[in-house]
Amino acid sequence: MSEQTVRAPRPAAPAPRRPRKGTPPWVVAALKVLGLAVVVLWCLFPFLWMGMTSLRTGADALTEPNILRGPFSLDSYEQVVDLGFQFALRNSLIVATVTTLICIPVASLAGYALARLPLAGKFVILALTLVATLFPPVALVNPLYQVYLELDGLIGLSLLNSYAGMILPYVALTLPLATFILTTFFSGIPKEIEESAKVDGATPFQAFWRVVAPLAAPGVGAAAILTFVYATNEFLLAFSFAPADLNVQTVPVFIGTFERVGYEDPIGQVMAASVLVSIPLILFALILQRRIVAGLTSGAVKG
Amino acid sequence: MTANKAPTAARRRGTGLGERAMGRIFLTPSFTFMALIAFFPVFYAIGMSFYRIKGFDQEFVGLGNYLTALSDGGFYNAALNTLIFTVASVSLEFVIGLAFALIMHQAFVGRGLTRAIILVPWVVPTAVAAQVWRYMFDHNPGFVNAVLGTEINWLRDPAWSMVGMISADVWKTAPFVALLLLAGLQTIPRDYYEAARVDGCTALQRFWYITLPLLRPAIVVALLFRTVDALRMFDFAYVFAGYSNSLATLSVYAQRYLVAEPELGYANALSTVTFVIVMLVGLAFISRMGRQLVGDAAPRKERA
C-alpha cells in the first residue's frame, strides 16, 4: 500500500501529552479498561448462556431463568450425538473445504490477471467484481432448484441433496470477494521483484508461479479463511437444496431447523449442538485472527 | 502500457505464454463459473417469472406474476419488514460499532486480545446465533425477561419479535463494523490530533472535524456491506419465526413459494424483485464510492 507516502514522518518519541485538567490519569485508565470489558462482555455473554444451558437438565432448565442453577449433566450432548449431529459437522467440513479448494485457485488466477496482466477494460471488470459481491443468494435459490430438477429429469444427475449442489453455488458466490481481496494483495507486491525475475529469464508464468504466488500467501490465506467461514455459515441454499438428509445436511440447517420431538422443548440439545460447532470455529477465529482481519479490512482501508 | 516488451521477449524465446494470453486464460475459469452458476440462473429466473408453473404444466402469463405481487399484501409486508429491519439494525450497528472501535483505539493494553474476541460473534453461523437468541428471548425459561424484569412475549408479539431479531443481528454484526472502523481509525495520523490539541480543540471537535471526515471511506464500506447483508437477510428471520408474516423478509417470502407452497413462477418473480432491489441499493453505494474502492485494488500505474 502507499500509505507511507501520505503519512507525515512520525517524531521519534511521542510528544508528551498535556495533562488534562480535572481527570486524574488513573480514572482515564480505569475508564479505558472498563470500555474494553464492555466490548468483551458483549461478544462473549451469549456463549456463557449457551454453554450453561447446554449443561442444565430437568424441569428447571425450562422454567428457571437463572443459568447457574443445576442439576447439570452431559445428557443433552449424548442426545445430539444420538441424533447424528456428528454427521452434520462432517458435512459442513467437507462442503466448506471443497468450496475453498475450488474457489481459491480460480480466484488467485483472476486476481493476478486483474492486478498485473495487460487486459482491456480492467477497471470495469474490477467494478463488476465488486458489484457481484452484492449478489443476493435468494436470486439463485429458485432458478437453481428448477435447473437441478430438470437435470435430474433429463440426464439423471441429482444435485438436490448432494454436496455438489451446495458447493457449486457457494463457489460462485464466494469468487467475487475472494478475487477482490486477492487483487488487492497482488497489487501490493512490488512489481520490481517480478521484473527482476523476468530479467533473469523467467517466463511470465514462472514469474507468477515461482515468485509472486509465494509472496501472496498471506492474501491467499485471508481469502481462503473468509471463503471457508462463508461456506460454514450459509443457511438459505443449504436449507433449500439439502433440508433433511443427514448424509448431506450441514450444521446451520441441523441447528436452525431443529424440531421438537414430542412435548419436550429441545433447548438443551440445541445449545449442546451450538456449543459443539462453536468451539472449533472460535478456536479457528482466535488462531487465525491476523489473517482474518487482514482479509476483512483489505479494500476497506484506503492506503 | 509497461508490459508490452515482456510477451515479445517470451515469444521470441518460445518458452512460455505471453502476458496477454495468460491474462485471458487466468480469467476464464472464474468467468465461466460465475456465468454458469450466477448469471445464467438470474436470467433463467427472469424468464421463468413470466410463467405460471404447477408441477410440469407451464402457462405463459406475461407480467401476471409481477401484477400478483403488486396486489399481494404478503409481499408488501415482507418489503416493509425488510425495510424496518435494515434501517434499524444498520443504524444501531453503526453507532455501537463506532463506539467499540473508538474504545479499542484508545486502549493501550489488551487491544490485540479484544480484536481477536471481537471476531467470535462474526465466526459463529448466523443460524446458530439465531437459535441461541431465540431461546434467550423465549418465554421458557425467560432469560431476557428475567434480566429486564419484563413480562413480554418476545416470540409471539409481532412488534417485539422484530425488536428481538434486530437485537440478535446487532449483537452479531456490531463487532464486525467495529473491526472495519478500527482499521480505518488506525490510518489517521496521530499528528493531526496533536496539532488540533495544540490549537485548543475539544475532544468533541477533534472527533467531529478530524475523526469522522477521515474515517469516511471506512464508514461507507461498512455501511455498504451491512446494508446489503441486511436487505438479503434470511437466517435470523426464518429461525425466529419460520414463514410467519410477523418477521418474513423478502428473502424468506420468496423462498416460501419454492418448497413450502410451490408456485415456482411466482417465486421467481419475487426473487427477481429482491435481486433488483438489493443490486440497486448496492449500486447506489458503489457508484458514489466505487472509484475509491476499486482504486485500492487497481494497479498502481492506473491509479495515478
Residues A39 and A138 in one domain: no
Residues A157 and A266 in one domain: yes
Look at chain A and report how many structural domains it folds into: 2
Confidence of residue B290 (pLDDT cuts 50, 70, 90): low
Query: What's the CATH code of the domain at A242?
Result: 1.10.3720.10
Distance between CA atoms of residues B154 and B156, nearest Å: 6
Comparison of pLDDT for A277 and B51, the residue scoring more: A277
Span B6-15, average pLDDT: 46
Span A108-126, average pLDDT: 84
Choose one of A56, A73, A90: the last residue of a domain.
A73
Span B61-77, average pLDDT: 85
> Is residue A34 in a domain?
yes
Torsion of CA B240, B129, B110, A224, to 10 degrees: -130
Distance between CA atoms of residues A93 and A209, nearest Å: 29
Distance between CA atoms of residues B172 and A278, nearest Å: 14
- Does residue A268 sit at the B interface (CB-CB below 8 Å)? no
Sign of CA dihedral A9, A12, A14, A18: negative
Predicted confidence (pLDDT) per residue in A124-160, tens digit: 888 788 888 888 888 888 888 888 888 888 887 888 8
What average pLDDT does the structure give for chain A?
82
Span B275-279, average pLDDT: 90
* Cβ-defined contact of A271 to B135 (cutoff 8 Å): yes
* Cβ-defined contact of A32 to B106 (cutoff 8 Å): yes
pLDDT for the residue B7 = 46
- Residues of B within 8 A of A10 (CB-CB) are 189-191
- Does residue A184 sit at the B interface (CB-CB below 8 Å)? yes
- The answer on pLDDT for B30 being more than 70 is yes
- Does residue A59 sit at the B interface (CB-CB below 8 Å)? no
* Cβ-defined contact of A255 to B175 (cutoff 8 Å): no
Give me B16's grid cell.
512460455
- Residues of A within 8 A of B21 (CB-CB) are none
Q: Which residue of B271, B296, B303 is the best one to mutate when testing the A interface, meaning the one whose CB has the most A CBs within 10 A?
A: B296
Residues A42 and A108 in one domain: no
pLDDT for the residue A18 = 53
pLDDT for the residue A126 = 82
Which residues span the domain enclosing A66? 23-73
Distance between CA atoms of residues B279 and B52, nearest Å: 25
- The answer on pLDDT for A94 being more than 90 is yes
- Residues of B within 8 A of A62 (CB-CB) are 140-141
Considering CB atoms only, which of B140, B184, B251 is closest to A301? B184
Span B189-213, average pLDDT: 86
pLDDT for the residue A238 = 92
Check if the beta carbon of residue B166 is closer than 8 Å to that of residue B92: yes
- Does residue B142 sit at the A interface (CB-CB below 8 Å)? yes
- Does residue B10 sit at the A interface (CB-CB below 8 Å)? yes
What average pLDDT does the structure give for chain B?
83
- Does residue A67 sit at the B interface (CB-CB below 8 Å)? yes
Residues A263 and A239 in one domain: yes
* Cβ-defined contact of B45 to A205 (cutoff 8 Å): no
Closest CA to A207 of B9, B168, B289, B91: B9
> Is residue A111 in a domain?
yes
- The answer on pLDDT for A118 being more than 90 is no
> Is residue A239 in a domain?
yes
Span A60-89, average pLDDT: 82
Residues A251 and A138 in one domain: yes
Considering CB atoms only, which of B31, B34, B103 is closest to A36? B103
Choose one of A32, A53, A73: the last residue of a domain.
A73
Residues A129 and A277 in one domain: yes
- Does residue B287 sit at the A interface (CB-CB below 8 Å)? no
Closest CA to B166 of B237, B225, B117: B237
B241 min Cα distance to partner chain A (Å) = 11
Residues A170 and A272 in one domain: yes
Comparison of pLDDT for A269 and B57, the residue scoring more: A269
A153 min Cα distance to partner chain B (Å) = 11
- Residues of A within 8 A of B37 (CB-CB) are 140, 144, 168-169, 171-172
pTM of this prediction? 0.85
- The answer on pLDDT for B80 being more than 90 is yes
Query: How many beta-carbon contacts under 8 Å exist across A and B?
Result: 364
Closest CA to A223 of A93, A123, A110: A110
Span B49-73, average pLDDT: 81
Span A287-301, average pLDDT: 75
> Is residue A5 in a domain?
no
Closest CA to B274 of B89, B85, B84, B75: B75
pLDDT for the residue B304 = 33
Residues A264 and A135 in one domain: yes
- Does residue B241 sit at the A interface (CB-CB below 8 Å)? no
Span A85-110, average pLDDT: 93
Q: CA of B148: which chain A residue's CA is closest?
A: A65
Span B215-243, average pLDDT: 88
* Cβ-defined contact of B292 to A302 (cutoff 8 Å): yes
pLDDT for the residue A101 = 95
Percent of chain B exceeding pLDDT 90 equals 20
pLDDT for the residue B303 = 39
- Does residue A203 sit at the B interface (CB-CB below 8 Å)? yes
Closest CA to A293 of A218, A232, A233: A218
Torsion of CA A290, A293, A295, A297, to 10 degrees: -140
> Is residue A209 in a domain?
yes
pLDDT for the residue A4 = 41
Please report the domains of chain B, with CATH numbers, ordered by start residue.
2-48 (no CATH), 70-303 (1.10.3720.10)
For residue B17, report the phi and psi dihedrals to the nearest 5 degrees.
-75, 150
pLDDT for the residue A252 = 92
Distance between CA atoms of residues B242 and B237, nearest Å: 7
Residues A87 and A129 in one domain: yes
- Find out whether the peptide bond into A214 is cis, omega within 30 degrees of 0: no
Closest CA to B229 of B14, B28, B85, B116: B85
Residues A177 and A44 in one domain: no
> Is residue A277 in a domain?
yes
B276 min Cα distance to partner chain A (Å) = 9
- Does residue A292 sit at the B interface (CB-CB below 8 Å)? yes
Comparison of pLDDT for A25 and A272, the residue scoring more: A272
Interface of B with A in 112-141 (CB under 8 A): 114-133, 135-136, 138, 140-141
Interface of B with A in 48-107 (CB under 8 A): 48, 100, 103-104, 106-107
Distance between CA atoms of residues A181 and A218, nearest Å: 11
- Residues of B within 8 A of A285 (CB-CB) are 116, 119-120, 122-123
Confidence of residue B124 (pLDDT cuts 50, 70, 90): very high
Interface of A with B in 153-182 (CB under 8 A): 168-169, 171-173, 175-176, 179-180
Q: CA of A264: which chain B residue's CA is closest?
A: B140
> Is residue A18 in a domain?
no
Predicted confidence (pLDDT) per residue in B239-270, tens digit: 888 888 888 899 999 888 887 788 888 888 99
Which of B35-44, B120-129, B140-149 has the weakest average pLDDT?
A: B140-149
Interface of A with B in 84-113 (CB under 8 A): 106-107, 109-110, 112-113
With 0-12 CB in 10 A as exposed, 13-18 as middle and 19+ as buried, what is B148? Answer: exposed
> Is residue A149 in a domain?
yes
A118 min Cα distance to partner chain B (Å) = 6
B281 min Cα distance to partner chain A (Å) = 10
Residues A94 and A242 in one domain: yes
Q: Which residue of B39, B294, B302, B303 is the best one to mutate when testing the A interface, meaning the one whose CB has the most A CBs within 10 A?
A: B294
Residues A63 and A97 in one domain: no
- Does residue B231 sit at the A interface (CB-CB below 8 Å)? yes
Q: Give a three-class secondary structure readout of chain B.
A: CHHHHHHHHHHHHCCCCCHHHHHHHHHHHHHHHHHHHHHHHHHHHHHHCCEEEECCEEEECCCHHHHHHHCCHHHHHHHHHHHHHHHHHHHHHHHHHHHHHHHHHHCCCCHHHHHHHCCHHHHCCHHHHHHHHHHHHCCCCCHHHHHHCCCCCCCCCHHHHHHHHHHHHHHHHHHHHHHHHHHHHCCCCHHHHHHHHHCCCCHHHHHHHHHHHHHHHHHHHHHHHHHHHHHCCCHHHHHHHCCCCCCCCHHHHHHHCCCCCCCHHHHHHHHHHHHHHHHHHHHHHHHHHHHHHHHHHCCHHHHC
